[in-house]
Structure 1
Amino acid sequence: MKHTKVKDLLNSTRSLHEVKAKGWVRTFRNNQFIALNDGSTLHNIQCVVDFENTPDETLKRITTGAAIAVTGDLVESQGAGQKFEIKVKHLEILGDSDPDKFPMQPKKHSLEFLRENAHLRVRTNAFGAIMRVRSVLSFAVHQYFQEKGFVYVNTPIITGSDAEGAGEMFKVTALPFDNTPRTEDGKVDYSEDFFGKETNLTVSGQLEGETFAMALGQIYTFGPTFRAENSNTSRHLAEFWMIEPEVAFNDLDDNMDLAEDFIQYVIRYTMEKCADDLKFLETRLLDEEKAKPQAERSELALLEKLNFVLENNFKRVSYTEAIDILRNCKPNKNKKFKYPIDEWGADLQSEHERYLVEKHFKCPVILFDYPANIKAFYMRLNEDGKTVRAMDVLFPQIGEMVGGSQREERYDVLVEKMDALGIDKEELNWYLDTRRFGSAVHSGFGLGFERLVLFVTGMSNIRDVIPFPRTPGNAEF
């Protein structure tokens, strides 16, 4: 007999004869009431055991974490809190769980404890909800771009180029650490390595994505990226997923339109599909907020924050205008900012971005036309010679959500910028070919998927929205 998902049983419109459910025991009360969950929903289904006709040996094995199968009738529940329950006729233990050693007991655990047990934390309500939301968000990403006619491109994970020019990359090598081959001047001889050259884990699929956009029109990548940045903070991961569309013939205005439409689409879709999970996460967040000092509490509840993004047009503001606003605002004049804004050219921090969104404009903000010297080499230089056609999308409580730009399509200008920054043109000769042969205006952006999941779930630490976080000093599981 096939088993039915708990979610489908709970959504049934009538009682049913002879159903089968499989899952894990959350609680077992009074030798009679099992709360069973199979991961398909936040909610458990109550299974009522006929304890008088169930062997004591079996009852003893019904412990928190045990995997079981129950067969019986789906009947209207006699208790409050659920419409249906299963009146168990047959119960089978599929996998025992030692009640004294199982870490996920039915009580509140700290997030630190759960990170130490990342292989089991998904059995809790909170992490089950987070991972279901993550899954639906991921699907929404693909659905949006597929509906818009984008081509999904898998760009390389191993690369010889540094897209960001930051140098914070993980090296990939098959060379031995003992007796590493070296050149006459003592440097590592990568010609003897697996690829015959120095290679790294990618920080972005953008450069390769651009080459496909210049043939297929509009493409997107959605895959893992890596940063060897020693930042042990609640906002950084060493391994994370990136969404990167690239569109031929789009200028910066088109790029801003795309980013706004895309973000609103995936959030709206997830709110429709994950209503129960998001409501649970909102309640959890509200309980956490009560323990904080009043000054540190969020002004918006989770669902209010998500609707804030859906119901407001994104305000478009130049970097120069934003600097004027920040330089003259009270927090800056009263030295409340950790990083004071003194002059044009400053690299904005999260506190500045949040001020613009939450206090000044009170809507999502897209900043554009940033100083060239704080942005990447591939961004199109403006006529003023000092700013580039860059854009950042700023959200409440999180700051930057999206970073993108109109790409520099002019061969001579791009080469000049690469020379000025000491970027090896031979290494990126293939990239320059897109400017030699049929170059055209094109644009794109990058969105760190975990940062989006962080925003949608209301979690405060990015390590809690990815199944197995990779951070400095931590590569467990």
Structure 2
Amino acid sequence: MISLCNKIDIKKRFLLPKLQGKYNLYCTTKNVERTRIKDLFKMDIKEAQHKNFKICGWIKSVRTVGKSYFVFVDINDGSYYKNLQVIIDDKIPDYEYILKTSTDDAIECFGELKGSIGKKQNVELCVYDISKNHYIKLFKQMNQDTVEEKEKINDSGNEKDNHNFNSNGHVNNYNDSNNNNNNNNNNNYNNNNHVNNYHDSNNINDNIIFTKNSSGHINEDNKTKGAKHNKEDYYVISKKYHTKQYLRNYPHLRARTKLYSSLFRLKSDIIFETFNFLKKKKNYTYINTPILTSNDCEGAGKLFYATTLFDQQIKNEQREEDHMKKGITNEIAGNIKEKCYYQNEHLEYISRHKSISKMEDFDEMLLKNVSSNDCISPNNTESYNTRFENDFFKKACYLNVSSQLSLECLCCSIGDVFTLNPSFRAENSNTFRHLSEFLMLEVELAFSNLKDIIDISEEYIKEMITYALYKSEDVNYLNEYHDKDLKNKLENILNKKFVLITYDEAINILKKENVFYDFQWGKDFSFEEQKYLATNYFKAPVVIINYPTHIKPFYMKLNEDEKTVSCMDIIFPDVGEVVGGSEREINLKNLKKQMENKKLNMKLYDPYIQLRKHGNIPHAGFGIGMDRLIMFLSSINNIRDVVTFPRYPGSLFMYIIMFYEFANYYYFIFLKKKKNIFFFFFT
């Protein structure tokens, strides 16, 4: 093989010719598997040293020293919070393009692993020997427009290969001591490990520097006024450290920062450990419960509808003129739209039924419905089924609020069960603790009571804290760069027993401390009251039991006093409620009475009632908000920062929403898109 290759020009041996302007395709090491950067750091350097590996990732910084003939590139592939230092020799093809790369440009490298002489890393990858098939590949160059752009730059002689670099490895423009050029292109950089912005010498307008004002908009530097640049091509997170609030505007990119990649990896690990704990250690059965449901588990009526009725669009273009004749203006239509959102808290989905033969009848029905204060709910609408007779399921369908009712059915058949599913609630809450879509761990235990679920909840949470403290490297990063007191907080919780108090005792504490002296019996605790109990008073997680009946769902077991139910909430410092659970009502008489008091549609819950008639057993269950648990484990104070694509009122990122304005009415058509929520955390 070597003798044959000696007869071939070295570059031709490793690079295919350009085909129709496409990027060079490498013909060697094609079958070499990619190695994750985390795996390289975990390898025994004595055994792995001098072996060749292929890595792929995103460039975080580029450094050169003086006029040396090699470059240092920090690369991260998302598998580890540390960057891998790659040393690239200038004899490697496409070396010149490395000096023109931007933050987070994707790259593939094949080189030799060596022990590092530097103090910041144990290993580094050296790409230096073409005879060993070493190469680099910049994925950005595979774009035809990018290649042509680079060729124009080379022709105009504007490329600048010399750079200097700060101590953190971020690129500054290099100015030789013998060069009298000005320093207009130099930028300032912070002293932390976050991604900084550096000058992209690949840009035709070399002097353009972007800054951001307080509102996050891009401004051009005064020195570059009048210069031309396409702001759409500006990389919004290439600059120095950004606030979490700013990065929430770019959920598709923020995982490239060390903070968010660490948070999402931690969440993935906690979910994996959850299955280990419940399945392997406790031998519970995992149940895949449905997302689509026909009932409201909590009885609150704040649901998301899943419907195909919007497919039945009215095609009569004369309708607009009919409305205009009736005096229905844009202003009136806007008021109707506002009522749909804020009075009913959701759009009422109305189809053109067969019984509606005239357009006037449809208009009258529409105006009548949008002015009503009643929601289309299985629990408060007499015409519940008739309104959805033309829908896909022939009845109203909702996104799941809780998997509890499904789990109870299985619990009464195969014993202890659990599920991990997204839940949806159409509450118009714009707080740092609430989302419209959130991940819930729900557990249902057969032949159990309130004490059993309190014990298992505490055991599970402490198991997750133990993992985060002693096994998670991402928590180490968060403790060092985000909250230096994080590990101390977790250790304090781990070593403390959860405090158990009743609802009445909690009220007495709040009144005794003269902090919430006006609190009245029968109210639920606000976040401020929860925070005071857990953070200020007990300084530990607090389990509050025996809440009043009227503020809890129908399925909770009625206590002997008939005023309270056998339930519990676990309140965590700084986060609030993380766990909620209860014994389930097994007395059929009490159950029906509770359902009547809550004004539930008994027909929808007939399968649930049958469980009490046949094979009835005592059982209890609880649900844990996984996102809030991650908030506590990572010391993050906003739930939107621990969810990859948070859903809340007014925010549905990466979903297509088409607005059809037809006859001054607004029809919202949500295009279907297949979701893959769970599997994301395990990849």
TM, length-normalised to structure 2: 0.64
The answer on whether the counterparts of 1:378 and 1:408 sit within 8 Å (CA) in structure 2 is: yes
1:408 aligned residue = 585
User: How far off its partner does 1:349 sit?
Assistant: 1.3
Query: Take 2:237 and 2:509, find their aligned partners in 1: how far apart are those partners?
Result: 49
User: How far off its partner does 1:19 sit?
Assistant: 2.5
SS of residue matched to 2:389: helix
Query: Take 2:480 and 2:421, find their aligned partners in 1: how far apart are those partners?
Result: 32
The answer on whether the counterparts of 2:449 and 2:619 sit within 8 Å (CA) in structure 1 is: yes
2:463 aligned residue = 265
Bigger drift between 81-90 and 245-254 goes to: 81-90
Seen in structure 2, the aligned counterparts of structure 1 residues 244 and 53 have a Cα distance that, compared at 3 Å, is closer
State the AA in 2 paired with 1:255.
I
Instruction: For CA contacts below 8 A with separation 6 or more, give which structure has more relative contact order.
Output: 1
Q: For 1:444-469, what per-residue CA distance to the aligned partner results, in whole angstroms no more than 9, with x for missing partners?
A: 01111111111111111111111111
User: How far off its partner does 1:52 sit?
Assistant: 5.7
State the AA in 2 paired with 1:234.
F
Written as runs of structure 1 = structure 2, the 5 A alignment for 1:253-332 is 253-274=451-472, 276-286=473-483, 301-332=485-516
Query: Take 1:16 and 1:324, find their aligned partners in 2: how far apart are those partners?
Result: 69
2:110 aligned residue = 71
State the AA in 1 paired with 2:250.
N
Q: Looking at CA atoms only, which structure, 1 or 2, has the larger radius of gyration?
A: 2
User: How far off its partner does 1:242 sit?
Assistant: 0.8
SS of residue matched to 1:427: helix
State the AA in 1 paired with 2:61.
T
The answer on whether the counterparts of 2:401 and 2:425 sit within 8 Å (CA) in structure 1 is: yes
Query: Take 1:353 and 1:250, find their aligned partners in 2: how far apart are those partners?
Result: 27
The answer on whether the counterparts of 2:89 and 2:95 sit within 8 Å (CA) in structure 1 is: no
The answer on whether the counterparts of 1:232 and 1:471 sit within 8 Å (CA) in structure 2 is: yes
The answer on whether the counterparts of 2:293 and 2:398 sit within 8 Å (CA) in structure 1 is: yes
The answer on whether the counterparts of 1:61 and 1:96 sit within 8 Å (CA) in structure 2 is: no
TM, length-normalised to structure 1: 0.91
Query: Take 1:102 and 1:422, find their aligned partners in 2: how far apart are those partners?
Result: 54
1:293 aligned residue = none
Query: Which of 426, 442, 445 is 2:622 aligned to?
Result: 445
The answer on whether the counterparts of 2:94 and 2:136 sit within 8 Å (CA) in structure 1 is: no
Q: For 1:63-110, what per-residue CA distance to the aligned partner results, in whole angstroms no more than 9, with x for missing partners?
A: 321222222222222222111111212332241188563333262012
Matched, 1:21 2:55: yes
Query: Which of 135, 138, 158 is 2:268 aligned to?
Result: 135
Query: Take 1:402 and 1:409, find their aligned partners in 2: how far apart are those partners?
Result: 22
User: How far off its partner does 1:112 sit?
Assistant: 2.6
User: How far off its partner does 1:212 sit?
Assistant: 0.5
Query: Take 1:105 and 1:51, find their aligned partners in 2: how far apart are those partners?
Result: 26
Seen in structure 2, the aligned counterparts of structure 1 residues 389 and 412 have a Cα distance that, compared at 3 Å, is same
Query: Take 1:394 and 1:75, find their aligned partners in 2: how far apart are those partners?
Result: 49
SS of residue matched to 1:378: coil
Query: Take 1:27 and 1:159, find their aligned partners in 2: how far apart are those partners?
Result: 49
User: How far off its partner does 1:53 sit?
Assistant: 5.5
Q: For 1:301-354, what per-residue CA distance to the aligned partner results, in whole angstroms no more than 9, with x for missing partners?
A: 221222222111111111111111111114235xxxxxx42x322211122222
State the AA in 2 paired with 1:9.
L
Query: Which of 283, 286, 294 is 1:152 aligned to?
Result: 286
Q: For 1:148-202, what per-residue CA distance to the aligned partner results, in whole angstroms no more than 9, with x for missing partners?
A: 1111111111111000111110111111364513468956621111101111111
Gaps (5+ residues) in structure 2?
1-31, 65-69, 129-133, 147-199, 201-232, 315-350, 366-382, 655-683
Seen in structure 2, the aligned counterparts of structure 1 residues 34 and 471 have a Cα distance that, compared at 3 Å, is same
Query: Which of 125, 137, 140 is 1:96 aligned to?
Result: 140
1:181 aligned residue = 352
2:546 aligned residue = 369
Query: Take 2:96 and 2:581, find their aligned partners in 1: how far apart are those partners?
Result: 62
Bigger drift between 122-131 and 303-312 goes to: 303-312
Bigger drift between 278-287 and 445-454 goes to: 278-287
1:245 aligned residue = 443
State the AA in 2 paired with 1:143.
N
Query: Take 1:400 and 1:189, find their aligned partners in 2: how far apart are those partners?
Result: 37
Matched, 1:7 2:38: yes
SS of residue matched to 2:482: helix
2:179 aligned residue = none
Bigger drift between 63-72 and 450-459 goes to: 63-72
The answer on whether the counterparts of 1:394 and 1:400 sit within 8 Å (CA) in structure 2 is: yes
Seen in structure 2, the aligned counterparts of structure 1 residues 51 and 63 have a Cα distance that, compared at 3 Å, is farther
Query: Take 2:476 and 2:83, find their aligned partners in 1: how far apart are those partners?
Result: 16
1:337 aligned residue = none
User: How far off its partner does 1:56 sit?
Assistant: 5.2
State the AA in 1 paired with 2:499.
K
1:114 aligned residue = 247
Question: How many pairs align?
Answer: 456
Bigger drift between 86-95 and 111-120 goes to: 86-95
Written as runs of structure 1 = structure 2, the 5 A alignment for 1:161-200 is 161-176=295-310, 178=313, 180-182=351-353, 186=365, 189-200=387-398
Written as runs of structure 1 = structure 2, the 5 A alignment for 1:417-456 is 417-456=594-633
Seen in structure 2, the aligned counterparts of structure 1 residues 199 and 81 have a Cα distance that, compared at 3 Å, is same
User: How far off its partner does 1:409 sit?
Assistant: 0.8
The answer on whether the counterparts of 1:410 and 1:439 sit within 8 Å (CA) in structure 2 is: no
Q: For 1:263-282, what per-residue CA distance to the aligned partner results, in whole angstroms no more than 9, with x for missing partners?
A: 111222233331x3112222
2:401 aligned residue = 203
Gaps (5+ residues) in structure 1?
288-300, 334-339
The answer on whether the counterparts of 2:92 and 2:127 sit within 8 Å (CA) in structure 1 is: no
Seen in structure 2, the aligned counterparts of structure 1 residues 86 and 189 have a Cα distance that, compared at 3 Å, is same
The answer on whether the counterparts of 1:137 and 1:267 sit within 8 Å (CA) in structure 2 is: no
SS of residue matched to 1:269: helix
The answer on whether the counterparts of 1:140 and 1:270 sit within 8 Å (CA) in structure 2 is: no
The answer on whether the counterparts of 2:51 and 2:112 sit within 8 Å (CA) in structure 1 is: yes
2:422 aligned residue = 224
Bigger drift between 214-223 and 345-354 goes to: 345-354
